Structure 1
Amino acid sequence: MFNDIILPVLILTGIGLAAGIMLALASKFMSVPVNEKLEQVRGCLPGVNCGVCGYAGCDQYAKAIVEDGAKTNRCVPGGDETSRKISEVLGVAYQDVEEKVAFVACKGYCDVTSDKMDYQGIQTCRAASQLFGGETSCGYGCLGYGDCAQACPSHAIDVVNGVAVVRPEKCIGCSICVKVCPKSLISVYPLTKPIHVSCRNKDKGAKTRKVCTNGCIACRKCVSVCPTEAVKVEDNLAYIDPEKCISCGKCMEVCPVHVIDHFHPTCESR
């Protein structure tokens, strides 16, 4: 009886001990060398994994910096502080980050537009947009369910009067909100280029006015006053080229529907 109990215990103990020794030897002789520089650079990155740097995530960007010599200033969410830390780790010259902020191109608030139906489905922009483009009368406008706000890692977006609004002082420029908006209303621009058209309606002016009194009517007054030819009208909608724009504000002054906005980049350097 005693042997029937002790012998299996001893066998299992021996197997466990042998397995432990084998694992210890394997971890020693088969381990992959750790690149300390890579680990340090990865530790500098914020871990948002947004891909705005051009890589799939923070791990891939860190690897590109250490192994391929990628620029240290491509992490917009991390800003200048992250770029400075990476530069110190690698012992290279600091590179300034072009800070960016998200902007929602819509002013179709509840009091200037209307609903074309009573939507009772899933309360998300993605779901609502699949049913005849959503319930709002403007087929191009914000649906107001806040998919972007839910996705924002810095809580920089609020839904105000039926339209998503970005708080520049909180925005880290990660572009995650851009990816989740089913209407493609959100873009990310440099903080130094704060003037943009708050509309995406491509219908003719008369039709636009019927669904939203804040919509662009393609009158071209903004085009005529722009000193750098940064404004153009295509498909019945005004666009501002941020590369040409000098933020003089003349287009804002002449816009009859006040659809050209200045998003007031008040946030300090990150």
Structure 2
Amino acid sequence: MSTLIIVSVVLLAVLGVGFGVGLAVAARRFRVEVDPRVEEVFAALPGVNCGSCGYAGCAGYAAALVRGEAPPDSCTPGGPAVAKRVAAILGVEVGTQVPRRAVVHCQGGLREAREEFEYRGVRDCAAAVLVQGGPKRCKFGCIGLGTCAAACPFGAITMGADGLPKISEAKCTACGMCVRACPVRIISILPSQYRVFLGCSNPVHVGRAMKEVCSRGCIKCRICVKVTKSGAVAWNGNLPKIDFERWTDPDSAVEKCPAGTYVDQRGVGVCSAVPPAAPPQ
């Protein structure tokens, strides 16, 4: 064996030992102590990484919980069960969680909303909205391609025969993934106790112009504001604004709305007092 080979092997061995010792010293010197409870809390979380807690995933939320910077009941997908487990790990108390669910502020289905053109692109709402704001005349309503359903990690959303998303309250965890996935922002999270809400997000079209784009859209008549004696329905300039905590008399608005714009989930999907919309001509 030549002297060059021997020297090379020895040199590599010395370098390897040197680098190993250096890494060991650096690891000890710059080591970051991690509270073992972080891993325990992380294991108790559902691992959806939806961000509904306000942190960048379950790992960030777990770290914030251990630092005392976040309450144990901020994980909406986990619900009360996860909140109790986390509280037990951290030795804190947890309050009563208010059940919430996602709702769709649009009733512009295939029969109600008129189309402006036929879309033949990628079956994705975010892609369709890039083409002249989507195929429907109403540029503020549901596009109907199911991006929200695809985004839901719990299978709580399906697309109905009318082209609108149907949300299963039993499966919905209020994680907010559908809210962020919708490019026209027509989905919101509401406490489950609020059973009536506005089913339109169009702030532009008024009266006949609204009827020409969607038969269920808010025509801006303000009747709901006038008939609501509690004062819980106000006009914010473009659409009715509801103060749910004060809204003890939703029946007046639901029954008097000439377009059937309010969604009533107290037992029947859309207010039965409003006749079905006629197909667009």
TM-score range, shorter chain: 0.7 to 0.9
Going from structure 1 to structure 2, the CA distance change for 1:237 and 1:60 (only over 3 Å counts) comes to same
What amino acid is the match of 1:237?
L
1:1-270 superposed matches below 5 A:
1=1, 23=23, 27=27, 30-160=30-160, 161-202=162-203, 203-246=205-248, 248-263=250-265
What amino acid is the match of 2:168?
R
Kindly state the Cα deviation for residue 29 of structure 1 after the two structures are TM-superposed: 5.6
What amino acid is the match of 2:150?
Q
Q: Please say if residues 103 and 263 of structure 1, whose CA atoms lie closer than 8 Å, have aligned partners that are also in contact.
A: no
1:75-112: CA deviation from partner (whole Å, max 9, x where unpaired): 22221111111110111222222232111111111112
Q: Please say if residues 125 and 144 of structure 1, whose CA atoms lie closer than 8 Å, have aligned partners that are also in contact.
A: yes
Kindly state the Cα deviation for residue 16 of structure 1 after the two structures are TM-superposed: 5.1
Equivalent-residue separation in structure 1 for 2:155 and 2:229 (angstroms): 37
What TM-score does the superposition give when structure 1 sets the normalisation length?
A: 0.84
Q: Please say if residues 196 and 262 of structure 2, whose CA atoms lie closer than 8 Å, have aligned partners that are also in contact.
A: yes
1:198-222: CA deviation from partner (whole Å, max 9, x where unpaired): 1112211211111211112233332
Going from structure 1 to structure 2, the CA distance change for 1:247 and 1:70 (only over 3 Å counts) comes to farther
Instruction: Report which stretch shifted further, 246-255 or 16-25.
Output: 16-25
1:37-71: CA deviation from partner (whole Å, max 9, x where unpaired): 22222222222333322333323322222223432
What TM-score does the superposition give when structure 2 sets the normalisation length?
A: 0.81
- How many aligned residue pairs are there? 265
The DSSP-based 3-state class of the residue aligned with 1:188 is strand
Query: Residue in 2 aligned with 1:268?
Result: none
Equivalent-residue separation in structure 1 for 2:124 and 2:148 (angstroms): 10
Equivalent-residue separation in structure 2 for 1:154 and 1:97 (angstroms): 20
Equivalent-residue separation in structure 2 for 1:221 and 1:244 (angstroms): 18
Q: Please say if residues 52 and 75 of structure 2, whose CA atoms lie closer than 8 Å, have aligned partners that are also in contact.
A: yes
The DSSP-based 3-state class of the residue aligned with 1:101 is strand
Equivalent-residue separation in structure 1 for 2:80 and 2:108 (angstroms): 35
Equivalent-residue separation in structure 2 for 1:20 and 1:76 (angstroms): 46
Q: Please say if residues 45 and 82 of structure 1, whose CA atoms lie closer than 8 Å, have aligned partners that are also in contact.
A: yes
Instruction: Report which stretch shifted further, 250-259 or 23-32.
Output: 23-32
Moved segments of 4+, more than 3 Å: 1-31, 233-236, 246-250
Q: Please say if residues 105 and 199 of structure 1, whose CA atoms lie closer than 8 Å, have aligned partners that are also in contact.
A: yes
What percent of counterpart residues are identical?
36
The DSSP-based 3-state class of the residue aligned with 2:193 is coil
Equivalent-residue separation in structure 2 for 1:30 and 1:218 (angstroms): 63
